[in-house]
Structure 1
Amino acid sequence: MSSIIDLYNNTPTLPQIVTVPQYIVFPFASAENHGWQHSIQEWLKALAPLGSVAIGWMMWRVSRNQHDLSKEQLRLAGEQHKLMRSQFDLASSQLEISRKQADTSQQQKEIAKLKLKLDLFEKRYDCYKEFNDIFYFIHWNYFILSYGELDKKHDEMYSKIVEFKLLFSKDVANDIFAIWGMIHKVLKLKLAFENNKITIEEFNEQKMEYSEASINKVQGDLFNKISPFLSTKEFSLV
C-alpha cells in the first residue's frame, strides 16, 4: 500500500498535466497503469488522421451543397428572367392589341360619320333631282299639257320647299320658293289662255319673261348654292 509520501510524489504538477501526454487523458493515473494508458494514447493518435479525413469529407459535403445551391439559384434566376421576359412580351402584346382596338374604334367612328354623310348626300341628291324633273317637266309642257295637269306638278314643287330648307339651307329654300312663284305666274297666264281671256300670242309673249327668269335662276344661282352640298370631298376618310 502506497504511503502518503508516495502519493505526493506520484501526483503530477500543473505543468506536467499541460505538457505530458499521459496526463491529458488520465492526469491522476498511477505509474502502474502507465502501460495501458500509453496504448490508449497511441490508439487516439491513430484515430487523429481519420478525424481529419472526416472533417475534410464534411467540409467537402458542405462545399458541394453550397455549389449545388448556387447552381439552383442560378437556375431560378434564369427562370425568373424568362418569366419576366414572358411578362414583358405579354404586356407588349396587350399594348399592341389595345392600340389596334383603339385604331379599329376610330375607324368605325369615321365609317359611321361617312355613312351619315353618304345618307345625307343621297337625300340631297334625290331632292334636287326630283325638283329638276318637276321644273323641266312643267317648262317643256306649257303648250302641250293643260293647266290642271301642270298645276299638280306645281303643287309637288311647293312641297319640296320645306325639304330643301331641312336638307340644304334657308337661302336655297328661298330660291326654290322664288322659282315656284315664277312658274305660278306662267300658269296663271296658261289658265287665262284656256279661258280665252288672252290669245296664244299674248300668252307666249308674257310667259317669256317669267320662263326665262326661272331658267336662269335654276341654272345659275340655285346650282351654285347647291353644288357645295353635293361635293364628293365629303366622303374622304383622310
Structure 2
Amino acid sequence: MKHLLDHTLRGYGQMLVANSRITGVCVLIGLLVLSLEAALMSLGGALLITALAQWRAQGDTVLKTGLFSVNGALIGALWYLFPQVPLWVQALTTALGCAGMAYFFVPVAERMHEKKSPYVLFSLPYVMAAWAALTALIFFGVHDAELTRGWRALLTNRFEKAEKHFLNTEVSTDMAEAYRCAGLGWSLYRRGDQTGAQTAFSRVLSLKIGVPDAYDGLGWSRLRQGRYEDAALAFRRAVALDSFFADSWDGLGWCAL
C-alpha cells in the first residue's frame, strides 16, 4: 500500500515533470479545486494502473518514478473535456484503458530499462489509450465527434461553423443533448441572437440534469438585455450547482453594480 500511494503521487508530480510526492499532492489538490468528479476519476485511474503495473512488472524499477501512474491519472482526467459521456462509460473506459496500458507497456518499459535506452515512454501509453477510447466511443455511438468539433469551432469564434456542427450532432443521451444545446446557445449569444440563445439554454434546463454552464449562459444573455434580476437568479442557480463556477460569480458582481 505504501508503494502504491508513493508511485501514484509521484505520477501526479510527473504532470509537471517532477519526480516528487509533494508536487503530486499539489497537482491533485489543483484537480480537486477544478473539478471533484474529474479528480476522483483521475485518482481512480492512477491507483488502478499503479496496482496493475505492480502486478505485471518484474520489479519496481520502472514504476517508482511514477511514469506509469501519470498515464492512468491522465486517462481518468481526460473525461473533464468530454462531460457529455455518461459517468459509467467514463469509469469503464478508464478501467479498460489502464488495464491495456499496464499489460502492453510495462514489458516494453522494462525492456527499455534493461537496454539502458535514453528514452522513456512518458505519456505515450496515455495518448494511444485515449485515441483508442475515443475511437471506440464514436464507433459505438456513445460520443459524436461533431459535438467536439462544434466546441472547438466555438472556442475559435467560428460561430456559423460551430452552429452547423451542433445542429448536425446526433446525441443518444440527455447529457450529450445538454452540451449540444449549451454550445449552440453560447454561439448564438456571441452573435447577438439573445432570443435564440435563451431558447437553446432553456432546452438544457428542461432536461433537469444540472449543467451550470447553461444557467451561466442564460444569465449573461439576460444581463445583456438589461434583465438584471432574472440574470442574477440564473447566476445563483449556476453557483448552487458548482460553487467554483467563477464566470457566474463574475456575473453576479455585474448584476450588483
TM-score (norm 2): 0.24
Q: If you compute each CA radius of gyration, which structure gives the higher value, 1 or 2?
A: 1
Greater fraction helix: 1
Relative contact order higher in (CA < 8 Å, ≥ 6 apart): 1
